[in-house]
Amino acid sequence: MTVDFAEHALARGNPVLVAVPGHKVDVIRTGLGAQAGQVSFADMAVAGRNPGRILPAVLIRFAEQHPGQRVSVIGEPTWAGRSAAEFPACVTHEALINEAFAGRDAEILCPYDISALDPAAIADAYSTHPLLRDSTRTWVNTGYEDPQATLARLNFALPAPFHAQRLSYALPEDLVMVRKFAASHAEAAGLSQDRIEALTIAVSELAANTTLHTKAPGEIAVWVEDGAFICQVTDSGYLSDPLAGRVPPSSMEVGGHGLVLVNQLTDLVRVHTSLLGTTIRLHQNLDVVA
């Protein structure tokens, strides 16, 4: 199915991107044969390790490289081996694709291995795709859920555990203290220096937003859980745009780059937001070297 999709797109003159995890890149490349040279490939397990970076750094970037052309993309964000913490972020990504690509000429095929995935993951796939396809036909999905309903369903609280180390901050001059706090605990957890620096930049971006856009103090909490160092920032702000951090701001916009950068620098970003405040949880996996 994926090879057939790519071949038909190439026959129409569409630029084609195949972004699938690991060995599947080679499987599709082999299936395309000589035509593989006309296709762009990305290992989604690397480029999309954080589901929040798939839209800005993989899909939208490819579309913007081909202005005025219809692009065809095979993108597999969800596979067996994703952690339980990553699955909600994958579903959020899938729910936002159509909104993020509004006004762009594109077709995107999202393959799901139903033989390997948990039934809950398959159910989420059905809820986030307006069209379904198998080896013989394509049809309208009557079980498609409004993206806003999907996002609301996934917007659950992210409480820090009792044993987490915490630090409050309020002023711009407190950012130095925030960075030192995050870096020292990340080092103690065993993160490499490069990944400590990446996390520290991400945390500083979030804490700076607190000092710029809210009146109440913020809090940073850190702990280790399921093989990841977690750094969580909570403040009184409200994140109204579900695409924040998922779509690069236009060159005309002054702000908006911070959350995009945060997604690029960390392995997973989880968000809970309401009128009472926002929590953004950053994961940096301990078993990743670079």
The CATH number of the structural domain formed by 165-285 is 3.30.565.10
**Strand, helix or coil at 218?**
strand
Q: Quick one: pLDDT at residue 165?
A: 97
Phi, psi at 269, each rounded to 5°: -130, 125
Q: Are 273 and 253 in contact (CB under 8 A)?
A: no
Are 2 and 18 a contacting pair, CB within 8 Å?
Answer: yes
Q: What percent of the chain has pLDDT over 90?
A: 89
Model's pTM, two decimal places? 0.92
Q: What is the pLDDT of residue 250?
A: 65
pLDDT, position 256: 57
The CATH 3.30.565.10 portion of the chain extends over 165-285
Q: What CATH number matches the domain at 2-154, 1.10.1060, 3.40.50, 1.10.3230, 3.30.70?
A: 3.40.50
User: Positive or negative CA dihedral for 9, 123, 242, 269?
Assistant: negative
Query: What dihedral do alpha carbons 75, 82, 262, 53 form, nearest 10°?
Result: 0
Beta bridge partners of 167: 220
Supply the DSSP symbol for 130. S
- Token output for 38: 């006309």
Residue 19 Cα distances to 24, 47, 51, 229, angstroms: 9, 8, 12, 27
Please tell me the distance from the alpha carbon of residue 130 to that of residue 175, in angstroms, as a whole number: 44
Give the pLDDT of residue 131.
95
Look at residue 252 in the predicted model and tell me its pLDDT: 43
Which stretches of the chain drop beneath a pLDDT of 70? Answer: 250-256, 290
Structure tokens belonging to residue 247 = 């779509």
CA atoms within 13 A on the CB side of 138: 7
Helix (H) or strand (E) holding 228: strand 228-235
**What pLDDT was estimated at residue 257?**
76
| Residue range(s) of every CATH 3.40.50 domain in the chain | 2-154
d(CA 200, CA 231): 9
- Residue 249 confidence (pLDDT): 73
